Amino acid sequence: MTSPSTVAPSGLARWLPGLRALKDYEAAFLPRDLAAGLTLGAVMVPVGLAFGELAGAPLAGLYAGMLPLVAYALFGSSRQLIVGPDASMAAIVAVSVAPLAGGDMGRLALLAGSLAVLIGLICIAGGLLRLGFMADFLSKPVIVGFMHGLAVVIAVGQLPKVLGVHADGDTTVAQLVSVVRHLGETNLLALTIGVGCVAAILGFRRFVPRIPGQVVALVVSVGLVAWFDLERFGLAVVGKIPTGLPSLQMPALALADLRILLPVAFVAALVSFSDTMVTARGFASRNRYRVNANQELIAVGVGNIASGLTQGLPISASGSRTAVAEAAGSRTQVTSVVAAAVVCAAMLFLTDILYFLPAAALGGILIAAAWSLCDFTEFGRLWRFRGAGLLGALLTLAGVVGIGVMEGIAIGVLHSLVMVLQALAFPADAVLGRTPAGEFHDAAHHPDARPVPGVIVYRFSAPLFFPNCSLFREHVERLVDAASQPVHGVVLDGSAINNVDLAACETLVDLRRDLADRGIRLAIGNLRDRVRQNLVRGWPAAHKDEGLFFPTVADAVSALNTGAIR
């Protein structure tokens, strides 16, 4: 009999993995899921407020911690992943969307919700078209540079709150210069609270990870402000927060706004999905289960639409909140549903208490979140592996900080594309020699590999197509000209050539003819069947030439040396 776990999901269960998980839910999981959900919900209140504050719309951060969590719980394939507002999405709204609102909070909420819906539609379309592999298109250097650049943007943006000063500027650099100019106006009370929150969050994360430092910072700072009436000393607080839950409404965009937001939505969708897949795969690997990339695209898409329809920020995965949930004992996505309920309860019953939350504490929470985005060892890894990767990360970081988030990503992606094109246009190649065992290897790495007298064995490690055809031909001709003894044959090791185009076919035709005019025969060994078929399509005469293709390099060399090729 077939086990239920091996039966392919069908119908509604195929699109709603959460329902499938509920069918197999074990009662023993419930106490841990409830405890984890309560802890997670307590964390999401200050974090949601902080990310909303970063984006310029505090309530939008809280709203993004409600319905999107339930949506992901139903559609997501990860048992543990926690979604919600995060630093990257909030920063994208702050840098790319907030300037369009011109200080109008209502318009900002509309644009942020519209961006979330656009991101959601793009992700769902990508999932239905099975484009989950697109998550790999943001290279490691771009992600490293982007995350560290965002950390700088967030930290600098929160310095005025932590210092209690006023600062302005269109770029992060300009904001930092403005902060430095106003250092003399620092509010020591705000500075103490802000630094204390950062220290508490990082300290609990380092030494007592089971206790959420954000909640401790929230409770202590609110208690101090309310008990000692610190607002009278010029300490800025969040102030009155409307009580109640968000309503469902479809954002209505003008065509001009749509044209501006659409490019932002594509980049944000790629960033959100990439972050989601990195986090989901990490936790799935640690707990020995798998996630479905295309289903994750759909789940992130539905979550973003749910956020946009409830006036929330765009959402993504949160590694830190997923870690909090896991440490608290989370077993399934029931944790997300409980956490969403906690945030709803806070919006219904705790808004009077949240009035006393100091802006400096929110700034401290965000600076701690920015610090968690950083992993400076990654720069060392990039340098040790390849200096060009480090350059790409630094260019992305500089672009994000010095120009803008979108521009920084564009610079990083452009650098990655240049590296890809360079690798294709100038691929690795090698002259092969024969070892005593009769195998052919790169003579530069195998000292026992000796050249075959009168025959050049050449390996080209890339697709052979129009950008590198000239280079390929030049290298072969240079090897023939530089040979220390007369050459009567050239063997192309085709094992590393995985594709050819018409330009490659024409190059091989011309090369073979020119070599033949010099009394040199060309043979190709170890070529893949599919590549050989493509080559014959562009070079029909090759099909009839029995002296061109050989199963192995050794067979080709033997045929040349015995005179089997005429």
Q: What is the mean pLDDT of the chain?
A: 86
Residue-wise pLDDT tens digits, 79-89? 889 999 987 88
pLDDT for residue 6: 39
Query: Average of pLDDT values for 430-452?
Result: 88
- Write out the two tokens for 304: 């973003």
Q: Which residue has the higher pLDDT, 407 or 95?
A: 95
Local structure of 446: helix, strand or coil: coil
Q: Is the pLDDT of residue 434 over 80?
A: yes
Mean pLDDT on 230-255: 87
| Residue 2 pLDDT | 38
Cα–Cα distance measured from residue 379 to residue 394, given in angstroms and rounded to the nearest whole number = 9
Is the pTM of the predicted complex or chain greater than 0.75?
no
Q: How confident is the model at residue 5 (pLDDT cuts 50, 70, 90)?
A: very low
What is the pLDDT at residue 308? Answer: 95
Q: Angle of helix 293-309 relative to helix 67-75, nearest 10 degrees?
A: 160
pLDDT in tens, 92-151: 898 889 888 888 888 999 999 999 999 999 999 999 998 887 766 667 788 788 778 878
pLDDT at 544 over 90: no
Question: Can you tell me the distance from the alpha carbon of 502 to that of 490, in angstroms, rounded to the nearest whole number?
Answer: 21
What is the chain's alpha carbon radius of gyration, rounded to the nearest angstrom? 30
Per-residue pLDDT at 282: 63
Confidence at residue 136, expressed as pLDDT on a 0 to 100 scale:
63
- Backbone dihedral region of 253: left (phi > 0), alpha (psi from -120 to 50 degrees) or beta? beta
Question: Could you identify the residue written with the tokens 């064995």?
Answer: 457
Let me know if 389 is exposed, middle or buried by CB neighbors in 10 A (0-12, 13-18, 19+). Answer: buried
Q: Does pLDDT of 318 surpass 60?
A: yes
Residue 527, pLDDT above cutoff 60: yes
The pLDDT of residue 3: 37
> What pLDDT is attached to residue 13?
66
The pLDDT assigned to 71 comes to: 96
What confidence score (pLDDT) does residue 504 get? 92
Predicted confidence at residue 475, as pLDDT, reads 94
Q: Cβ distance 269 to 126 under 8 Å?
A: yes
Helix axes of 319-327 and 30-55: crossing angle, nearest 10 degrees? 150
- Two tokens, residue 451: 């050249």
Q: What are the φ and ψ backbone dihedral angles of 481, each rounded to 5 degrees?
A: -65, -35
Amino acid in the structure at residue 460: F
Residues comprising the chain, all counted: 566
Cβ proximity of 300 and 316 under 8 Å: yes
As a whole number of angstroms, the distance between CA 165 and CA 542 comes to: 76
Q: Is the predicted pLDDT of residue 9 greater than 70, yes or no?
A: no
Is the confidence at residue 492, as pLDDT, over 90? yes
The residue-averaged pLDDT of 210-225 equals 87
Confidence at residue 210, expressed as pLDDT on a 0 to 100 scale? 75
* pLDDT tens, position by position, 147-205: 788 788 878 888 998 998 888 776 788 889 999 999 999 999 999 999 999 999 899 88
Check residue 4 and give its pLDDT.
39
Q: Provide the pLDDT confidence category of residue 497 given band limits of 50, 70 and 90.
A: very high
In this prediction, residue 564 carries a pLDDT of: 57
pLDDT value, residue 137: 64
Report pLDDT for 144: 82
Checking if the pLDDT of 285 tops 70, the result is: no
Contact 392, 416 (CB under 8 A): yes
- Arch. (CATH architecture) of 429-562: 2-Layer Sandwich (3.30)
Question: Who wins on pLDDT, 434 or 140?
Answer: 434
The pLDDT value recorded for residue 518 is 92
Local confidence band at 563 (pLDDT 50, 70, 90 cut-offs): low
Give the number of other Cβ atoms within 10 Å of residue 141's Cβ: 27
Find how far residue 138's CA is from the centre of its chain: 6
Exposed / middle / buried, residue 564 (Cβ in 10 Å: 0-12, 13-18, 19+): middle
C-alpha 427/C-alpha 407 separation (Å) is 29
Mean per-residue pLDDT, 548-565: 85
Can you give the residue ranges of every domain in the chain?
Answer: 27-419, 429-562
Secondary element (H or E) of residue 458: strand 455-460
To the nearest whole percent, how much of the chain has pLDDT over 70?
95
| Cβ(265)–Cβ(118) below 8 Å | yes
pLDDT for the residue 225? 93
In the β-sheet with 429-434, what is the strand arrangement from edge to edge? 440-442, 429-434, 455-460, 489-493, 521-525, 549-550
pLDDT at 305 over 80: yes
Round to whole Å and give the CA distance between 150 and 96: 13
